[in-house]
């Protein structure tokens, strides 16, 4: 482990900036073997808001241009909008700076390819922030699948439902703009589900070989906050997809940001020849397991022997959404300090981006897209 604190430069100080900063603050207390970090520089555009955020989040300095930062810190957290993922991350990697980038890796496949190539050409650690991999119940499910507890994988189902855009008067933002985001529910939510599918069954079922997808936008324009104007919505509100895996298994996936009554409903199920598993983010500490008998058993994944749980509270004292970021940061920073690889890597991020691209191309052509 490094003796000197790792100097962190962080781009973006709102939702994801707060989540990752909270994780950095928790490491010293609950993961004492984690590398020490220094919150060196917070990066943003609005100097006034940036100064306030830096004071609140505990960053020593601020910068309004990422170009002035990426070569001078040890670790660069790219938590900005999707259209800012490519250039800053590539520049950081070329400078030898380690990078943790939020998902999806890029707005489109070309950008993701550039990022993957930059990671491959250098020695810096490059990771994608698919934080749901680090839910103890997901890690537990992966172990059951790897151990053959549910037999040969036959079907994978995933859905991610939210309702924050159900109201047509909900304001326009970068997340509703194709140039900034790349896609809507597909990349914003679907990226998480497709990554979990790869993480859970990739070794057991192989790669996805073909994809069929459909995108739908329900509200074509939205008001611009603080004005009397509206702007066009150029991304999807919802997507559905079918996939085929290398071993013959099938998959069905969907996501929506207009599913009334659903705040953050992320569910993944895996069905095998000898059993099934189901996980819901709304019951994050539980895993539904069917391996024998008539029905599912609810397994509470809070024992000291369960992944990461020994760092936290006594058995039965549940964890929450924010803890996934602590686990993710612990693994990433430990890999940086030890000079080891980290997963999910930029290769993993590119693989997910390839699936997102295939869903979009299938929607455009009305045909299956082969990925072999």
pLDDT tens digits, 23-74: 999 999 999 999 999 999 999 999 999 999 999 999 999 999 999 999 999 9
Specify whether the CB–CB gap between 218 and 161 falls below 8 A: no
Topology adopted by domain 6-132? Rossmann fold (3.40.50)
Backbone angles phi, psi at 29, to 5 degrees: -75, -45
The pLDDT assigned to 252 comes to 98
The pLDDT assigned to 356 comes to 98
Specify whether the CB–CB gap between 42 and 50 falls below 8 A: yes
For the chain, where do the domains classified as CATH 3.40.50.720 start and end? 6-132
For the chain, where do the domains classified as CATH 3.30.360.10 start and end? 133-318+346-370
Answer whether residue 2 shows pLDDT above 50. no
Checking phi first, is residue 145 left (phi over 0); if not, alpha (psi -120 to 50) or beta? Answer: alpha
Residue whose C-alpha is closest to residue 128's, from 346, 350, 276: 346
Q: Which of 18-22, 283-287, 290-294, 339-343 is predicted least confidently?
A: 290-294
CA distance 302 to 316: 5
Angstrom CA distances, 74 to 92, 131, 200, 256, stand at 10, 21, 31, 37
Answer whether residue 1 shows pLDDT above 70. no
pTM value > 0.75: yes
The pLDDT assigned to 292 comes to 86
Answer whether residue 86 shows pLDDT above 70. yes
CATH of 133-318+346-370, one of 3.90.930.12, 3.40.470.10, 3.30.360.10, 3.30.950.10: 3.30.360.10
Please provide the size of the chain in residues: 372
The pLDDT assigned to 372 comes to 79
The pLDDT assigned to 293 comes to 79
CA distance 143 to 148: 9
Neighbours of 156 (CB within 10 A): 26
Neighbours of 172 (CB within 10 A): 19
Neighbours of 308 (CB within 10 A): 20
Percent of the chain with pLDDT over 90: 98
């Amino acid at each position: 482990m490094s003796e000197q604190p790792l100097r962190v430069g962080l781009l973006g100080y709102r939702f994801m900036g707060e989540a990752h900063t909270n994780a950095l603050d928790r490491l010293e207390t609950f993961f004492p073997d984690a590398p020490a970090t220094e919150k060196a520089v917070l990066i943003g555009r609005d100097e006034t808001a940036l100064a306030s955020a830096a004071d609140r989040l505990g960053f020593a300095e601020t910068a309004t241009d990422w170009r002035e930062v990426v070569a001078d810190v040890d670790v660069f957290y790219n938590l900005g909008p999707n259209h800012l993922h490519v250039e800053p991350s590539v520049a950081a990697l070329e400078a030898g700076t380690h990078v943790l980038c939020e998902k999806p890796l890029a707005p489109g496949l070309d950008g993701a390819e550039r990022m993957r190539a930059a990671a491959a050409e250098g020695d810096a650690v490059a990771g994608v922030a698919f934080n749901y991999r680090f839910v103890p119940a997901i890690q537990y499910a992966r172990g059951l699948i790897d151990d053959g507890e549910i037999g040969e994988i036959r079907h994978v189902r995933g859905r991610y439902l939210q309702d924050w855009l159900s109201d047509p008067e909900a304001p326009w933002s970068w997340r509703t703009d194709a140039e900034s985001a790349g896609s809507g529910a597909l990349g914003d939510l679907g990226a998480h589900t497709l990554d979990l599918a790869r993480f859970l069954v990739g070794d057991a079922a192989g790669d996805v070989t073909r994809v069929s997808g459909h995108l739908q936008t329900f509200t074509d324009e939205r008001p611009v906050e603080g004005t009397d104007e509206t702007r066009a919505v150029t991304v999807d509100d919802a997507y559905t997809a079918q996939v085929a895996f290398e071993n013959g298994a099938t998959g069905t996936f969907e996501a929506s940001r207009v599913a009334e009554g659903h705040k953050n409903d992320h569910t993944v199920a895996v069905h095998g020849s000898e059993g099934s598993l189901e996980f819901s983010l709304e019951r994050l500490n539980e895993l539904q397991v069917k391996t024998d008998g008539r029905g599912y058993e609810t397994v509470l994944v809070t024992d000291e022997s369960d992944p990461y749980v020994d760092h936290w509270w006594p058995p039965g004292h549940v964890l929450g959404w924010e803890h996934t970021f602590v686990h993710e940061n612990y693994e990433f920073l430990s890999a940086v300090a030890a000079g080891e690889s980290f997963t999910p890597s930029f290769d993993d991020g590119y693989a997910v981006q390839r699936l997102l691209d295939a869903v979009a191309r299938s929607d455009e052509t009305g045909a299956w897209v082969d990925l072999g």
